[in-house]
Structure formats: C-alpha cells, structure tokens
Structure 1
C-alpha cells in the first residue's frame, strides 16, 4: 500500500488523483502547510526539499510530482495512461511531461509565490503571467491542431495519458489569473473532459475542494 503526504490543491493533487483513478490502496497523511510542518525535521527527513508530495513506495519516500505521476502510470493500469518504453508515442508522452513542468508549472509557482525571488512581487507576477499565457497559447494550438487532424482531444491525440491529468492540475492553478487556462477553447474542452471523470469528483470530495469544480 502507498502512503501519500499531501496538502489539498497542491502538487500532490495529481498523485492523489491517479491513486484514486487507478484504484490503488493508499493512506493519506495530511501535511499542515500553514503550520509549516513541511519544514520540520521529521518531514525534511522524508523530503529534503520541504514540499509535497512525498509518496512512500514500498516503505521508501519518493518525491517530485511529475516523477511520481510517471511512476504510477508506468507501474499500474496495464499501460492505460502511459505508453510503454517501446511504444511509438513514448517519446511524445515524456516530452509533454517535461514540457509541462518547465513551461507551465515553473512560472505558475512564481505567480503564486513571487516572494521566492525576493524581488518586486508585481513585476514577478507580470513576467510569470506572460510565460503562462504563452504556454497556454502553445498548448491550445497543439490540441486544436490534433482535433482538426482527427487525432483526438488529448495531448497524445485520441490517447488519454497521465500528462493530461498533470495538465489539468496545472490548469486549475491558473484559476485566479486574469485569463485562466480554461478560457482557451481547446484547453477548456480538455478541462471539461477531465473534470467529468468520477475520480475527479472523488478527489475533490476527499480533499475538501470547492473552487473550479
């Protein structure tokens, strides 16, 4: 059984979501972020970065949301959400996972936590917003081209993958930006499809989330 150290709505969300979607036995261990439990010695012994998620895998702590997403999709579900290493779409799948971390997640963190740079908060947010919107434009264009070519509505075309779960989490993080990601038409359609999954409703129920529902 897995044990997930999490905080509602954070980067642990996608890992929690996949645990539910894949029907994997797991235990949830809440981390009090407001009380800075993630910076305490006990938690830092599990995850020296002092962030969530941390997932106990066979008793060993593992971290990094994108890595855990790829790991769970590879290990479970008989390839339902991850092309196998010898699959022609494997390279595209990994490309999107890394692309999302670099081009969307990174500026989103800056937008939410501009003080991390110890610079002018508004200037940091303006720069981050420009990067986020540029990433959304590219992602929406990719999805639009895929639909126009008859390939399907997901990042891999007709094939749903863990990358779509990851993108949906990141789209949720844009909800307070002047232009949230779901206002782009093809990203909005992807969000609608992903939020319609029963696992998403169960995720929201367990984490006590209400916004962007």
Structure 2
C-alpha cells in the first residue's frame, strides 16, 4: 500500500502517474504549497527537504521524484515501466532519467524561482535556465525524429512519463516544448493514455489536458 503526498501539477505528478499505470493501491494526501504545508513540522518529519512528493511505502517515507519513479517501476515489473536489467535499453533509460533529474528539472527550478541562485540578476538567471531547457528539448526532439514512439522500446517507461510532466511545466514559457514537432506528437500520444486522464480527474487539473 502506498500513500502519496502531492500537490496538483507539481513533481508528484510523476509517481502519481506511475501508480495509476501500475494499478497499484494508493491513497492521496494533499499538501497545500500556497499555505506552506510543505514546511509543516509534521510533514518535515517525512520529507526534510520540504517539497513534494513524499511516498509512504508500507508506512516508511521516501522522496525525490525520479527515485520514486524508479522504485515504483521496480516494485511493479508487470507494468513494464522500466527496461529489463542488463539490456542496452536499460542503460539508455538510466542515462536519460538521470539527465532529466540532474539537468532539466533543476533548470526549471531556476526558471520559476530565480531567487534560488542567490544575489544575482534574476533576468539573467531565467535567460540561462530557458536556454538550457530549450537545448534539452532540441536534443530530445532530435532523438524522437527517427520515428520511435517512446524513448526506449515499444511502450512507455517511467522515463516517458517524466519527460511528459516536464513538458507540461513548459506550457507557459516563451517556447513551450510542444513547439518542437516530434515532441508535440510524443505529448499527444502520451496524453491519450487513460492514466493521464485519470490523474487530471484526481488532481483537479485542467491546463494542458
């Protein structure tokens, strides 16, 4: 049994999508970020970083969206959310999961919260973040240009859902990820999945449906 602490549209979307895909039993517990719920002392006992998501697995708390995604994939191999161990596809999967977690997602953080960079020009921080984000979308669009439907293999893995979430975050940027043709087709394909529609219903989301 899982319990997911989440906020609609935040990084908790990734483990939420995968729990739905895996048909795993779970309970949702909202964290009101606008009201500072992530800084509540009781929540900080679960996640000292003061962010979402936090996932309770048999009552034990774990965090970091990319790590939770891989944990869910490992716990539910029947859902085929990760390529098999020891395969070339697995190596590519791990490479891109790490790149999204270490490079793309942090760039979004600076785009949305340039003050995190310290006492520097926030406009310059946002410009640098935007350039990094767009450079990565350019690379992924080129990867998808060979006609593949997903990053690795014939079906979507946790990696594809991770990319989809980060694409959604670009929806109000000067150049959204869907401005790239192969990424646009990828997003349309992924958003057609029942799990995406279910997540929108459960989180009460409407934008970028």
Query: Same-fold call, TM > 0.5?
Result: yes
Alpha-carbon distance in structure 1 between the residues aligned to 2:50 and 2:155? 34
How far residue 157 of structure 1 moved from its aligned partner, in angstroms, is 4.5
Alpha-carbon distance in structure 2 between the residues aligned to 1:17 and 1:47? 20
Matched-pair contact (CA < 8 Å) for 2:89–2:153: no
SS of corresponding position for 2:46: coil
Partner of 1:161: 157
How far residue 79 of structure 1 moved from its aligned partner, in angstroms, is 5.3
String of CA shifts for 1:48-95, please: whole Å, max 9, x gaps: 111000000111000000000011011104251111223331111111
Alignment root-mean-square deviation, CA: 1.2
String of CA shifts for 1:96-150, please: whole Å, max 9, x gaps: 10011123111111101112123322211111000011010011111113x1xxx
Of 189, 192, 197 in structure 1, the residue corresponding to residue 188 of structure 2 is 192
String of CA shifts for 1:31-60, please: whole Å, max 9, x gaps: 111111111211111011110000001110
Partner of 1:85: 85
Unaligned runs of 5+ in 1: none
Matched-pair contact (CA < 8 Å) for 2:7–2:52: yes
How far residue 20 of structure 1 moved from its aligned partner, in angstroms, is 1.1
Alpha-carbon distance in structure 1 between the residues aligned to 2:54 and 2:157? 22
SS of corresponding position for 1:45: helix
Matched-pair contact (CA < 8 Å) for 1:74–1:84: no
Partner of 1:135: 136
Alpha-carbon distance in structure 1 between the residues aligned to 2:40 and 2:13? 21
TM-score calculated relative to the size of structure 2: 0.96
Alpha-carbon distance in structure 2 between the residues aligned to 1:5 and 1:130? 32
Unaligned runs of 5+ in 2: none
More displaced stretch, 95-104 vs 170-179? 95-104
Partner of 2:169: 173
SS of corresponding position for 1:23: coil
Matched-pair contact (CA < 8 Å) for 1:66–1:101: yes
Alpha-carbon distance in structure 2 between the residues aligned to 1:93 and 1:84? 10
Q: Which has the higher contact order (CA 8 A, sep 6+)?
A: 2
Alpha-carbon distance in structure 1 between the residues aligned to 2:141 and 2:24? 32
